Amino acid sequence: MVVFLIDGQASPARVVRHAATSRRLRLAVPGLLGDRYLGRRLERTVHGWPGIEEARAEPRSGRMLVRYGPDAPLLARLREEPDEAPPDTPPAPARSAPRRAPAVAPARDEEPWHALAVDEVLRQCGTNPHGLSRGEAAARLSRHGPNVVDGAPPRSRWSLLRAQVATVPMGLLMGSAAASALAGDVLESTAILAVVGLNAGIGYRIERRNEALLASWQKLEAGQAQVLRDGVLQAVPASDLVVGDVLLVRAGDVLPADARVLEAHRLQVDEAPLTGESEPQPKGPEPVAHDAPLAERHGMLHAGTMVASGHGRAVIVATGRAMALARVRKLVEETVAPPTPMSRKLDRMDHRVALFSVGASVLAGAVGLARGRPMGHVLRGAVALGVAALPEGLPIVATAALVRSMQRLHARGMVVRRVAAAEALGGVTVICADKTGTLTRNEMRLEVLDVGQGAVDLASLRARPEAVLEDAPSLALAAALLNSDVDVHRNGHEVIIAGSSTERALVSAAHASGLDGAALRQAFPRRRLLERTEGIHYVVSLHDAPGGGVAFIKGAPEQVIRLCSRDANGPLDAAARERLLLRNQSLARDGLRVLALGWRRVDLSRGEARDADYTFIGFMGLRDPLREGAADTLRQARVAGIRTIILTGDQRHTAEAVARQVGLRGETLVAKEVTARLSSPGGAEGDWLERVSVLARVTPEDKMALVRALRARGEVVAMAGDGINDAPALKAADVGVAVGARSSDMARQMADVVMAGEDLRGIIHAVGEGRIVQDNLRRSIRFLFATNLSEMTLVVGASLVGAREPLLPLQLLWLNLLTDTLPGLALALEPGDPDILDRPPSPPDAPLLSRDMGRQVVRDGLLMAGLGAAGLVLGGPPLAFGMLTAAQLGYAPACRAPRHGRGGDVPGDGRFNLLVGSAVAMQGLALVVPPLRVMLGLPAPSWGTFAAMATGLVLPRAIVGLYRQGRARFSHPVTSEVSP
């Protein structure tokens, strides 16, 4: 044991490992875990010892690494150090539980995995190339915890509660309470604080539910990883990965944990998030020097970095807080996100309303003083009026609407990663959808094999493994299999193929014909694979073969045919090439994805690959079936005023065939045509963007350019995709949607919305939810502003004409208590208009309170103020209070979405009736319960009081209904976001 004396206190340490030859010592320091301050002090202390070359404390694991020189007296110090602290040293603190339990096995991150051979890495991790067993993986997960990075701790209850109070309306309310207390009106001050407490409590509860909701979605956001367990490839949640899992990685994967490479095939990783290297770094299983810097550890894969190309296998060596990127990710999570557009709109509205309320209070106070009223009375009235003008329930209403929308989307299998996306969805005008996996099932199957004599009957085809280079159908299937980049595993008699849907279909067809993929790869070992690049839409693979090397080419027919000089019948002249191209177009017009195949003998020593002189083998036509309801979904999008643009890597004829099948009309362009039009002067402003419906032979750059061009024209663009090539466009779009549970990790991280399903209908539903949020907020704002305006109009109007004071300060507070909470929430949580997708979207820059809505607010506020004034004339202030309160509660149903004559129960009626009915019941209690009556200054109720209440509840809805009918009769039917 080693005892460090730090600031007069002993810190014991235990020797975990001592490598005498390399003069390295590892110590376990119980108090170090999670304590960075202690780590820095330990490093300073040990550096002061003679002969010490390096001392590095790691608070994440509770370990300390010490490197010492050959003449360092450290060994003697260790031998002389007693097992217990010396008598004159204060006793060491008891071994208490660490503040934060480690998420991984201790000291894993301290091991020099990059310097160890593959066999040694597997031995130390307790695994093998076939992965862990399911039981062992479950045991390790239970023992060491999930693979999650501890980011910023969840917001405390106190911080959530404080956030509800730290707003402009709440600040004015508390200022009003203080003013009332100074004026000697303790009851009024207490009532104002009660309003503050009630609003804060409701907002706190909603925020707590929101925090829990987002936390429950983090696991779905994290995605899945492909691992081997019991030798079988399976997808597991990234949070369930453990040290020792064998991970399969492919291009586009964002690595979920730190891992040591076991096997690599052209594997390159973008490590910019960790090392700052701008270029992808090659990876391989070879060990490197022990002291190699992080950027040169080519055998390591680190969490948070992205596989740029190739594929491979790796064994996980660190998870959770032990990962190299854990500290960086924690800093990211602790960064405060900028305010959303909606929050900025609400903040601007809050400030304007606050200025308006202060102005109204000053005006009412000035009028009161001018009429000779007592100063204390004027002050209390001005305070109450200022409180009445504030829509303090607005932040609660907005949060409730957004969270409710996110919950409904989550129930449909969609996770909204950013709250702003819930608002942006409602304004979408264009959906750019990747064809494969969105409109189609992403379940490719080989449907046509044509080797020159027409289509081969695939059901009866039997390949000849012994003569693959002589038999044309066998050669075609073998070339497709050998040229494909897949991982094949067996689970008993079941063959599991991991790779792209196209290459899975080709390999499956080859296996079904009788070819043994493993035997074929052994007979034709691959030496090199040349992937697609920009402008090159084919793949070339080089193989050793009996009689010399061979090259197989597979890809776009128009490019492959150009590289072929002959076919099975002899040389290809211009006429023969034209016939092949016509055959390609015929297959493509049937909606097939067509690939052309060719082969040639090559001299592998010279590295020949993309030269011409290939022998044309034939065509393969693959079909990806359309999803059920794809055509209906696009029709529904058109009805909703949303254009759909299909983006696909297929050739023009295939893309046009799919567009016809789903009923999509418009112009089909290939990527180079789009590039040419966008680069031409004024090309981005041309009306061709309004006509295009299909973009074929598209690249990631083309997708992003199209999205940007559409946005520049004022469109609100939703981009739907699932692959690496979709990620730039997902980030460039107003709303990026990662489609499907199998979408690439990069696509998920770039997206605003993550869908568990792969159906485009989910996006249409999400757009509808976004429109419901916008509509409900506008209706709630209309209700809150109109009711507050009615109170201000009645009080200020009575003051100006010299009438009696219609409402006491406590009565104004009671009105706000009832109308700014429960009815506002009832409108914010409405299910929305069922016909919400039968109208065009609202303009992107539409304010929350439009001019038309402002006129409605003024009209309805004056109407309710008129009812209050009638009560004041007929029965004095008590009747004015009863009439105005009932009118405001009766106004809530008038703000709901029109029912369009539908009978029966409407979804959401129960919740709406419960919330508004509760407010009505509270007003009834105020009229009949003596203590409440006394506090509000009300006399005993009479039949006239209840008649006035009933009139107030019914009249606003009836008058607004008559106005709607008159408007519909004398004007053309116009659909708006919020009906009057």
- Return the active site residues: 434
What are the residues whose beta carbons fall under 8 Å from the beta carbon of 746, sequence distance 6 or more?
Answer: 252, 253, 254, 306, 724, 727
Q: Give residue for tokens 């944990």.
A: 257
Query: Buried (b) or exposed (e) across 920-944, using 16+ Cβ within 10 A?
Result: bebbeebbeeeeebebbebeebeee
CA distance 178 to 371: 26
CA distance 226 to 403: 33
Length in residues, the chain: 980
Query: Buried (b) or exposed (e) across 601-622, using 16+ Cβ within 10 A?
Result: ebebeeebbeeeebbbbbbbbb
The DSSP secondary structure of 201-212, one letter per residue, reads HHHHHHHHHHHH
Q: Give residue for tokens 């204390």.
A: 376
* DSSP β-bridge partners for residue 445: 623
**In whole angstroms, how far apart are CA 271 and each of 297, 700, 740?**
11, 21, 26
CA-nearest of 467, 551, 557 to 514 is: 467
Backbone angles phi, psi at 835, to 5 degrees: -95, 25
Beta strands in 332-467 (DSSP E): 414-416, 430-434, 445-450
Q: Mapped to the 3 state alphabet, what secondary structure does 14-40 carry?
A: EEEEEECCCCEEEEECHHHCCCHHHHH
CB 290 within 8 A of CB 19: no
Query: What's the Rg (C-alpha) of the chain?
Result: 36
CA distance 977 to 853: 10
What stretches of 371-440 show up as alpha helix (H) in DSSP?
A: 375-389, 394-411, 419-424
CB 828 within 8 A of CB 404: yes
Q: Is 896 exposed, middle or buried (0-12, 13-18, 19+ CB in 10 A)?
A: buried
What stretches of 223-291 show up as alpha helix (H) in DSSP?
A: 272-275
What are the residues whose beta carbons fall under 8 Å from the beta carbon of 295, sequence distance 6 or more?
Answer: 271, 275, 276, 277, 281
Three-class DSSP category at 753: strand
Three-class DSSP category at 629: coil
Cβ neighbours around 726 below 10 Å, total: 34
Structure tokens at 209: 């539910």
* DSSP β-bridge partners for residue 260: 300, 315
List % helix, strand, coil for the chain (3-state, nearest 5). 50, 20, 30
Q: Give residue for tokens 């034939």.
A: 618
* DSSP β-bridge partners for residue 142: none
C-alpha 609 chain-centroid distance: 42
Quick one: how many helices (H) and strands (E) in the chain?
32, 30
CA distance 539 to 556: 9
CA distance 661 to 656: 9
Roughly how many angstroms between the first and final C-alpha of the chain, as a whole number? 80
